[in-house]
Structure 1
Amino acid sequence: MNDGLKRLNGILQLHRRDHVHAQASSQVLLCQTQNRKAVEQDNFSELKANIQDMQLVIQRGEDAAVQAKIQSYICLAKKVQKQFKKISKNTRSPDQESRRVAELLAEAVAELEKN
């Protein structure tokens, strides 16, 4: 019984530490979300400007410039896609934190039931 209570106390200490970590993670997640939105806005602005440049070149009928603008757009689109993938990988959902706390509590209950 004492082992179970000690384990539960240890898990509660971990929970408190995880709670503090979760709060910090929530702040990081908020910053990441804001950063992601800023990156998205910048990228879409770049894409929009590139498309507008391409439209102007097409209207002027400059074939060589059209090819250059198309290549520029393709490179920009690839860069944007890489940035989105990178940002998506780095974001961590708050559900992962909740799942960890639930697992720790389940372990504590199982340990108490054994004794």
Structure 2
Amino acid sequence: MGMAGPRDERWLDADAGRLVRPYTVSNGRTRPTTKLDLVSMVMSTGRVHQARLEPDHAQTLGLCAGPTTVAEVAAHLKLPVVVTKVLLSDLIDWGAVTTTSPGPVAGPSDRIVLEAVLNGLQRRL
């Protein structure tokens, strides 16, 4: 999933990290075709298999197995957000990933949200 395979070894250095400039990953593109925010949720549709994709797109798709935010994908890829958005946008265009915008922000008196937060905290403690 997020592991480097034999094809990727020449592009990775244990100390330096990725040896390819981030914008090379997106072919110099800085504008995704799909509007994505840091908190936009992305998830694989299961229609496109990782084996059919370039390594960076395959790795990105692997991170979208379950619902995750654009920010989380960028953090795992260790790439600038704009590059991550371009990769995700490509996957969306190809039907490999679906996206949803975050819902409306809840007010401080929204009882359902407050109960969900409380329940989540109680499960973690």
Report the TM-score when normalising by structure 2: 0.21
Structure with the greater relative contact order (CA < 8 A, sep ≥ 6): 1 or 2?
1
Higher strand share: 2
Higher helix share: 1
Larger Rg: 1
Report the TM-score when normalising by structure 1: 0.22
